[in-house]
Structure 1
């Protein structure tokens, strides 16, 4: 039994995706830095400073 919440439809590889958290507890197990796609780094850092996530400007 897996606790993954997503899987790759081509490979059946299971993985966990967590939404970003301002307290930086983004990872599933224990403290570590999350892996952030290069094109999302600017948005992630803006979120950490208080900006809303894209598409969630109204809550």
Structure 2
């Protein structure tokens, strides 16, 4: 895992997971739009507008 911090145990696919950032610098390399799963779009948009992340309401 030279350039990844997680991998899929079933496929051995390596990937980088980063927490969202309100300044939208979520991606690892350069400016680009992060891939957000459809189930998380509403929570991501709310986070960008100032809401806490689900599960992190108290810190």
TM-score interval for Structure 1 and Structure 2 normalised by the shorter chain: over 0.9
Q: TM-score, normalised by structure 1?
A: 0.95
Where does structure 1 lack aligned partners over 5 or more consecutive residues?
Answer: none
Measured after TM superposition, the shift of residue 3 of structure 1 is: 2.2
CA RMSD of aligned residues (A): 0.9
Please identify runs of 4+ aligned residues in structure 1 that moved more than 4 A: none
Q: TM-score, normalised by structure 2?
A: 0.95
Matched pairs, number: 59
- Cα displacement string for residues 37-59 of structure 1 (whole angstroms, at most 9, x for unaligned residues): 01111100000000000000001
Measured after TM superposition, the shift of residue 13 of structure 1 is: 1.0
In structure 2, the residue matched to 1:31 is: 31
Where does structure 2 lack aligned partners over 5 or more consecutive residues?
Answer: none
